[in-house]
Amino acid sequence: MKYLTCVASLLLLAASCEAEALGSLARVTVVDRDTGAALRTYYSHGEYWVAGDPGARYAIEIRNCTGGRLLAVTSVDGVNVLSGDTAGWDQAGYVFDPGERYQITGWRKSNSEVAAFTFTSASDSYAERTGRPANVGVIGVALFRELQPRPVYSPPKIAPQPTEPAAKGDSNRALAQDEAALAASPPAAGVSMGEPARAPAPAQRLGTGHGEREYSYVMNTEFHRLQAQPSEVIRIRYDSFANLVAMGIIRRPHPAPAVPDPFPGSPERHFVPDPPG
């Protein structure tokens, strides 16, 4: 599989984005690219939700919080954002260096171009247009730690006595065993760089469209997973603000009732206020 690495010129957001980020190994945020603001997360019945604005472009921002490299296999609406395949953990993803932050802005078309993520009607989403409507409305990030090669112990070399042939192959066998263990871990593909519903939601849900082509440069790299199962999976569901209100996920504040004025046609009388202090 192919791995991709992000280039150094990354987009950084204000610290306020961290308040909406999810995850521990990496911090994941959904960003409205038209406003630059991180979308607020709402938690309801074990799920994290964000409200998307129909027509807006968005990005999935990931920041590696570990001291080693991470592989982030990323999906939108059940589709791998790199390959377009129905998403699975063993597929291609983005590789992040320690502390690296990067915005995934669209469906990858090549190492230098993406088709922008846009909030659109579910019927116009890329997943539904390609015959996979079942998982429209969810973003997923599966995180994998990297397998580090084990150091090989090499004992000091001692010149053999003429009567005792030198032992051969011990260090070579140890090295071969370590190389075999490393080779047994298949390389992962990658790219470097959350109450009952009040009322039924409107029939038209929000999905992610296949937007305009944009420049986005990445490079291939190699990555060996520490294990086959992800170390952490981050799941974020999304829909329009109106739908989340209808489902009871977002509660509108109740405005305070207006206080009746017995003389609405007369201006209020004012006197001279006291000085400060």
- pLDDT value of position 9: 36
Look up the pTM and report it.
Answer: 0.72
List pLDDT tens digits, range 1-12.
545 555 433 333
HEC assignment per residue over the chain = CCCEEECCCCCCCCHHHHHHCECCCEEEEEEECCCCEECCEEEECCEEEEEECCCCEEEEEEEECCCCCEEEEEEECCEECCCCCECCCCCCCEEECCCCEEEECEEEEECCEEEEEEEEEHHHCHHHHCCCHHHCCEEEEEEEEECCCCCCCCCCCCCCCCCCCCCCCHHHHHHHHHHHHHHHCCECCCCECCCCCCCCCCCCCEEEEEEEEEECCEEECCCEECCCCCCEEEEEEEEEHHHHHHCCCCCCCCCCCCCCCCCCCCCCCCCCCCCCC
| Domain spans of the chain, in order of start | 4-246
| pLDDT band at residue 21 using 50, 70 and 90 as cut-offs | confident
Residue 178 has pLDDT above 60, yes or no: no
